[in-house]
Amino acid sequence: MVRGVEIDGQEELTAAAIARRIGVGRAAVSNWRRRYDDFPRPVGGGDTNPTFRWAAVADWLERSGRAEQLAKAGRTETGTQALDGPTGGWTIRDASVEWARRNVEAEQRLARVLVSLLPPTTAASAGGGGDDHFAIADDLPVVFDPACGDGTLLLAAADRFEDRVRLCGQEIDEGLTRSATLDLRGHPLAGPYDVRLGDSLRGNRFTELLGKAAAVVCEPPFDRPGWPAEELATDRRWEFGRPEPRDGELAWVQHCYAHLRPRGTAVVVVSPRACVSPSGQAIRKLMIGKGALRAVIALPAEMSTVTGEACLWVLRRPRGEEEDEPVVLVDFSSADRAAAPQQFGEWRQLFGLAMSGGAGRARPGPVPARAVTRARLLQDGEANVLPSRYVTTEAEAGADDIARVTGRLEAVYARLGAGLPRYAAARARDDFAYVTLAELERVGALTIRPRGTTPRAGDVLVWPRTPGVIAATGEEQTDSMTTHVIEPDPARLDPDFVATFLRPEVEAVPIPRTIGVLGREDLRRCRIPRLSIAEQRHYGAEFRRLSDLREALTTLARLSTTVIDQTVHGLTAGTLTPDRLAPTTPTHEENL
């Protein structure tokens, strides 16, 4: 197979070759093609194996921000591999294969989370599915994915339900359609499957599933500039209203819902915008009012490899009368990606805690889920269903807790204020006599160690952090390729004296963008005052004292900000009143 060709000096690559060059899976390139209208068009090849101009693809990667994302997956300067050609030296990293592996793992984790939200009744019972009058074809309940890509969600459904469901998927990309079919064919537990090629919104290839699917799972294409709103204006799938041209996500949500049988469940990935957009208010109101929207889950950051931030909408088609159950809102947005359950039993327990207001929770702390009545969601007219608006993921401090911490902070601030240093003015402004590090190294007063040296306590580190020069404690985690380690002779140089006087010298050195770190010769030209060891130690002791004081004040500022934030939250949440209490006198223990 031709991986790349050169035509008129412009390199052309197949999708597979592009994937190999930038270190991602082939499905990622196919996903970009179908989900982003501005992705470069093919310039050659055939329908089944098109080629793309590499310069245009590299430019798209830069404009979309994916080049930076890929670069961050690599190592430091020695791990960079430049790609020559018309891209101006756009780079990738040797570690991009590892990034691609993590990308695939994230997709699979997301798929397991989606499928775990489907109830056990989705699948046929062990005795067969003949009692399900909504089943089709082979009398098995259907799990449907209308934007199945390479079949990741359908494979996760096969892992969970095995051969007790029929798996159906539609995909607009021919290569991904073949990939999904082959993977399902090779799955040892999958039951019947059917993957069809086509545009789900414009040309639904599974009209026979409308109103009959036991479950729908879907991660629709995001960030498209529009969807065919005018072309599909009178489509019957818009049960809750026709989405605006910019609300393609709500078109996909309703497309999924239209295929559900009564009591069927759909889990759809949406962006946070779909939860709050003014243009989608009317549709959200109807979905909430009719009992179709059952839960909204804000996923941990970057769990969705397409959007960065994502939410799950859990939908269920009521049977007959509208159901007056609350909507469960779950906020995992600030949690680790492992926080999202992957078992239905864990979701059931979490939803139960939300319904009970957290009663019976085994572990202390706030529950990241809350059941909100439909009337509450609709009362302000916005139909805002973003979980962070209703769910508190941090422990709430009571009035007594805040008052106690505030009293202690007042006492500490008073003690610090009395102890702030005051120094005497110099009798006359005399400039120091300076000596360069090169001279000190030549006489053996210090040694500039090779890169890669592990720093020890008493060394001086010059690194691309803030502050840029410090006296080492021996516990620092350093990057061997961007850190200089200076080992001073303790009998002749005080490390805190050296580090503090060296800092403004290092900061004044212009560092070339192409290097990004201070060069060894530039470091040798830096200077420090020429003082006796006794004078150095006197300066060093005061520098250490000031550094400790700065750290203490920084910690106090952070704690004070937390107390203020908790107080503001208490006032807005109704647990505190704006009536101020009289200052308290700290006890002896609080002053210690």
Q: What is the spatial distance between Cα 151 and Cα 168, in angstroms, rounded to a whole number? A: 10
The answer to whether 172 and 246 are in contact (CB under 8 A) is no
Beta bridge partners of 330: 297, 369
Q: What is the spatial distance between Cα 582 and Cα 67, in angstroms, rounded to a whole number? A: 57
| Spatial CB neighbours of 550, under 8 Å, sequence gap ≥ 6 | none
Tell me the pLDDT of the chain (592 aa) as tens digits.
334 444 444 577 888 778 777 767 677 787 788 777 788 988 887 766 788 888 888 888 887 777 666 655 443 333 333 343 334 344 444 444 454 555 667 788 888 989 999 999 998 875 444 444 444 445 799 999 999 988 999 999 999 999 999 999 999 888 889 989 999 998 888 899 999 999 999 999 999 999 999 999 999 886 555 678 888 988 999 999 999 988 889 999 999 999 999 999 999 999 888 899 899 999 999 999 999 999 999 888 767 655 567 899 999 998 876 567 899 998 888 777 777 888 888 888 888 888 876 444 444 446 688 888 889 889 878 889 898 888 875 555 567 767 777 777 777 777 677 667 788 887 665 678 999 999 999 999 999 988 778 888 999 988 777 778 889 887 777 666 667 899 999 999 999 999 999 999 888 887 654 445 678 888 899 999 999 999 999 999 999 988 888 888 887 888 888 788 878 877 776 778 888 777 665 554 444 4
Beta bridge partners of 511: none
DSSP string, 414-436: HHHHHT----PPPSS--PPPEEE
DSSP string, 8-75: TTEEEEEHHHHHHHHT--HHHHHHHHHH-TTSPPP-EE-SSSEEEEHHHHHHHHHHHTHHHHHHTTS-
| Residue 154, CA distances (Å) to 195, 327, 496 in order | 10, 27, 61
Beta bridge partners of 82: 91
Peptide bond into 467 cis (omega under 30): yes
The answer to whether 524 and 564 are in contact (CB under 8 A) is no
CATH code 3.40.50.150 region(s) in the chain: 102-389
- The predicted pLDDT at position 5 comes to 43
The answer to whether 326 and 374 are in contact (CB under 8 A) is yes
Beta bridge partners of 270: 311
Look at residues 51, 21, 55 and name the one whose alpha carbon lies nearest to residue 33: 51
3-state secondary structure of 176: helix
Tokens of 582: 């009289």
Q: In this structure, are strands 327-331 and 369-372 parallel, antiparallel, or unpaired?
A: antiparallel
Stated as kind and residue range, the H or E segment containing 270 is strand 260-270
| Spatial CB neighbours of 416, under 8 Å, sequence gap ≥ 6 | 549, 552, 553, 556
Look up the CATH number of domain 102-389: 3.40.50.150
Domain 4-94 CATH (choose: 3.40.50, 1.10.405, 1.10.1660, 1.10.150): 1.10.1660
Kindly provide the b/e burial profile for residues 574-590, where b requires at least 16 CB atoms within 10 angstroms of the residue's own CB: eebeeeeeeeeebeeee
Q: In this structure, are strands 50-53 and 166-171 parallel, antiparallel, or unpaired?
A: unpaired
Residue length of the chain? 592
CATH code 1.10.1660 region(s) in the chain: 4-94
- The predicted pLDDT at position 396 comes to 56
DSSP state for residue 223 in the 8-state scheme = -
